[in-house]
């Protein structure tokens, strides 16, 4: 055998046409399957994102309604109705919801940016949105001043900015202020109102129960502005017995057809403070019986200040002995109303002195004092003389 014959030659045969076609077919199937899988995953992801967006939108609307409606009746004077108006798309209620004065011991929330016109009862009547009904046509009082309980309004209105004809916007309004949009792309549930109501009824045998208010009985309107007045009877008084509001709401991603994603929910919102009256836990309203003085003074730094002083109330040093704090108000010369409380001082001292340093030179101030017991109830106010800050 020659050396040339002993060397093995490499096999230079390539793929046949059939093998190439088979390979390309398999590759195409793999690529097509991978692309289809990725497309399905992307579509599922987009669907989930859109559904979550709709869910978050509805959840925010529900959260706002629950947070605010549950304050209905909080620190509301006895002559001011708690639930003022209720229909299938709007609800109006009273609550001492917010204050812009940090030591206010009564309001539910503190908001330093809240306008003065939105931290106490309405100063002027206003029309309930979506209706022709005027409310707050009476001035309510609380311990000799305007009520600290503002009126809050939630209502649904059609959204004319979308392509759909069933989209709604949820608005929130305080007193006669400008409505604030809370959530969009909200829908009615089929055949159901946005708001329905359940009232507290007695069966005549001493037992009580919650009973849905028929749709035919809406709207509920506390047409008599003064709660517990002789005219506050019959259908007019129905709002006084409402103890829960049911919210039925749907939400979408704002699209139509196959692109639409919807969520639906129904929530019964209890009104734990509605219908509550001041308790006599600590007996009758406290007696102050102390003079209240305010005099101009200066701090060690030389800055101007006003010193407030008073003796313990009659019902702290003696009497019922149930005073737990003293509440102070402040107003400027020319102000017609005391507004929200300015300060709260715990009881328990032999004599009381407080130096108010946040005053402006050349300004005239007046202060008022009331004792508060554990009910809580307030005494009548004792006003100081006007003080000119030098």
Residue 376: CATH number of its domain: 2.60.40.10
210 is a domain residue: yes
221 & 144 share domain: yes
Pairing, β 195-202 against β 262-270: unpaired
- pLDDT, residue 51, reads 52
308 & 242 share domain: no
166 is a domain residue: yes
What are the start-end ranges of the E strands in 101-207?
Answer: 109-110, 126-127, 134-135, 141-142, 145-146, 150-158, 168-174, 180-187, 195-202
Q: Is the pLDDT of residue 111 over 80?
A: yes
Q: Which residue has the tokens 């028929």?
A: 214
Over the Cα atoms of the chain, what is R_g? 34
264 & 303 share domain: no
Rounded Cα–Cα distance for residues 382 and 338 (Å): 12
Rounded Cα–Cα distance for residues 77 and 295 (Å): 32
8 is a domain residue: no
243 & 316 share domain: no
CB burial of 199-236 (b: ≥16 within 10 Å; e: otherwise) equals bbeeeeeeeeeeeebeeeebbbbbbbbebeeeebeeeb
251 & 302 share domain: no
- What percent of the chain shows pLDDT beyond 90? 41
112 & 184 share domain: yes
234 & 311 share domain: no
71 & 219 share domain: yes
- pLDDT, residue 75, reads 85
349 is a domain residue: yes
Work out the pLDDT band at 267, boundaries 50, 70, 90. very high
Q: Is the pLDDT of residue 281 over 90?
A: no
377 & 257 share domain: no
- pLDDT, residue 89, reads 96
Work out the number of other CB atoms within 10 angstroms of the CB of residue 12: 5
243 & 130 share domain: yes
pLDDT tens digits for range 295-334:
999 999 999 999 999 999 998 887 777 888 898 989 998 8
Q: Is the pLDDT of residue 292 over 90?
A: yes
181 is a domain residue: yes
150 & 297 share domain: no
Residue 83 belongs to domain spanning: 52-270
Structurally, the chain folds into a number of domains equal to 2
Q: Look at the pTM and tell me if it is higher than 0.85.
A: no
352-356 β-sheet, strand order: 292-298, 304-310, 352-356
CA 140 from centre of chain: 21
16 is a domain residue: no
167 & 89 share domain: yes
């Amino acid at each position: 055998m020659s050396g040339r014959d002993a060397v093995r030659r490499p096999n230079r045969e390539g793929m046949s046409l059939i093998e190439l076609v088979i390979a390309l077919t398999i590759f195409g199937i793999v690529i097509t399957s991978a692309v289809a899988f990725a497309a399905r995953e992307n579509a599922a992801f987009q669907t989930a994102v859109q559904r979550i967006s709709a869910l978050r939108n509805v959840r925010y609307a529900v959260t706002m309604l629950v947070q605010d409606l549950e304050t209905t009746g909080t620190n509301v004077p006895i002559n001011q109705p708690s639930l003022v108006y209720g229909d299938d798309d709007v609800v109006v209620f009273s609550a001492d919801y917010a204050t812009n004065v940090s030591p206010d011991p009564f309001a539910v929330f503190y908001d330093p940016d809240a306008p003065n016109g939105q931290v106490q009862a309405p100063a002027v009547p206003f029309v309930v949105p979506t209706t022709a009904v005027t409310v707050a046509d009476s001035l309510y009082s609380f311990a000799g001043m305007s009520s600290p309980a503002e009126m809050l309004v939630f209502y649904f209105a059609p959204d004319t900015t979308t392509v759909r004809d069933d989209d709604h916007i949820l608005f929130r309004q305080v007193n006669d202020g400008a409505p604030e949009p809370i959530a969009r792309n909200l829908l009615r549930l089929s055949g159901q109102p946005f708001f329905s109501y359940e009232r507290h009824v007695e069966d005549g045998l001493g037992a009580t129960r919650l009973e849905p208010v028929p749709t035919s009985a809406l709207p509920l309107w506390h047409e008599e502005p003064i709660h517990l007045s002789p005219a506050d009877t019959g259908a007019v008084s129905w709002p006084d017995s409402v103890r829960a509001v049911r919210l039925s709401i749907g939400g979408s991603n704002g699209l139509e057809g196959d692109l639409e994603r919807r969520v639906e929910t129904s929530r019964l919102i209890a009104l734990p403070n509605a219908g509550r009256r001041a308790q006599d836990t600590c007996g009758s309203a406290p007696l102050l019986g102390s003079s209240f003085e305010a005099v101009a003074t200066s701090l060690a730094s030389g800055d101007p200040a006003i010193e407030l002083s008073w003796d313990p109330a009659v019902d702290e040093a003696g009497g019922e002995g149930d005073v737990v704090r003293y509440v102070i108000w402040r107003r400027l010369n020319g102000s017609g109303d005391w507004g929200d409380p300015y300060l709260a001082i715990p009881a328990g001292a032999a004599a009381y002195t407080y130096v108010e340093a946040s005053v402006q030179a050349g300004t005239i101030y007046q202060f008022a004092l009331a004792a508060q017991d554990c009910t809580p109830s307030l005494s009548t106010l004792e006003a100081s003389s006007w003080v000119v800050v030098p």
